[in-house]
Chains A and B, each alone.
Chain A
Amino acid sequence: QVQLQQPGAELVKPGASVKLSCKASGYTFTSYYMYWVKQRPGQGLEWIGGINPSNGGTNFNEKFKSKATLTVDKSSSTAYMQLSSLTSEDSAVYYCTRNYYFDYWGQGTTLTVSS
């Protein structure tokens, strides 16, 4: 069965960077785009961007272009999202989700940016 595994939580200091992971299993990793979605507390869902694991090609919401970097490791079927220059505005749950219609989702990583 398709699974996307994400760490439950990350705590980082303001100004730092963090690399969130999403380990895929149960399907051919390179066959489907991987997307990332942000949800701030009490807010709705926001699309960050996506990556083609086959060739590393990316597309982004312009709002996140300078904030997020997307990569993959095909050998471990893992997608990564690095977030830089973190502020309190980056505190949120980050989900990875597969395919252009977001059919399977990870459980989400709760990122807390605090000193």
Chain B
Amino acid sequence: DVVVTQTPLSLPVSFGDQVSISCRSSQSLANSYGNTYLSWYLHKPGQSPQLLIYGISNRFSGVPDRFSGSGSGTDFTLKISTIKPEDLGMYYCLQGTHQPFTFGSGTKLEIK
């Protein structure tokens, strides 16, 4: 199985900060057609996960442009600029290139 290592586990922030979350995979997530299925989600307590970014860097409908994704191969980053209260929660990356699809272990974005 592809192992996705997500760091950091915890990210204490102040509102207005800019932060980055990293996901590294144990093998390249680019398939033979050149597509890379790497997505990012925010999961708030009592809610279902919500898609933020898909295909490395594509923002999902309605996602503010303070969220951005980048990377290639095995190394991917989610950046959040100007953190707001509604951004607090658990962030997960997901690789959907290789079965079984695997999630990172999560990053908890919390107030300092």
Number of residues of chain B lying within 8 A (CB) of chain A: 23
Q: Across the interface, do A102 and B51 meet the contact criterion of CB distance under 8 Å?
A: yes
Does the CB pair A44–B103 fall under 8 Å? Answer: yes
Instruction: State A82–B48 Cα separation when bound (angstroms).
Output: 21
Known pairs A44-B92, A45-B92, A59-B99; A102 contacts B49 (CB<8 A): yes
* Residue A95 lies at the interface, judged by CB distance under 8 Å to chain B: yes
B96 proximity list for chain A (CB < 8 A)? 100-102
Nearest-neighbor residue (CB-CB) of B49 within chain A? A105
Q: Chain A 66-95 against B: per-residue CB contact (8 Å), 1 yes, 0 no?
A: 000000000000000000000000000001
- Cβ of B60 under 8 Å from chain A: yes
Looking across the interface, which residue of chain A has its beta carbon closest to that of B55?
A101
- A108-B48 in contact (CB<8A): yes
CB 8 Å contact bits of A36-62 with B (1 = contact, 0 = none):
010000001111000000000001111
Q: Which residues of chain A are within 8 angstroms of B20 by Cβ–Cβ distance?
A: none
CB distance from A40 to the nearest CB of B (A): 13
Q: Contact flags (1/0) for B43-62 with A, using CB distance below 8 Å? A: 10001111100110000100
Contact assessment for B51 and A103 in the assembled complex, using a CB-CB cutoff below 8 Å: yes
Question: Does B76 belong to the interface (CB within 8 Å)?
Answer: no
The reply to whether A46 and B103 form a contact with Cβ atoms under 8 Å apart is yes
Residues of B within 8 A of A (CB): 37, 39, 41, 43, 47-51, 54-55, 60, 92, 94, 96, 99-106
Q: Name 26 A/B residue pairs within 8 A (Cβ), A-sorted.
A: A35-B101, A37-B49, A44-B103, A44-B105, A44-B106, A45-B49, A45-B92, A45-B94, A45-B106, A47-B101, A61-B99, A61-B100, A62-B100, A63-B100, A95-B48, A95-B49, A100-B37, A101-B39, A101-B94, A101-B96, A102-B41, A102-B51, A102-B94, A103-B54, A104-B51, A107-B47
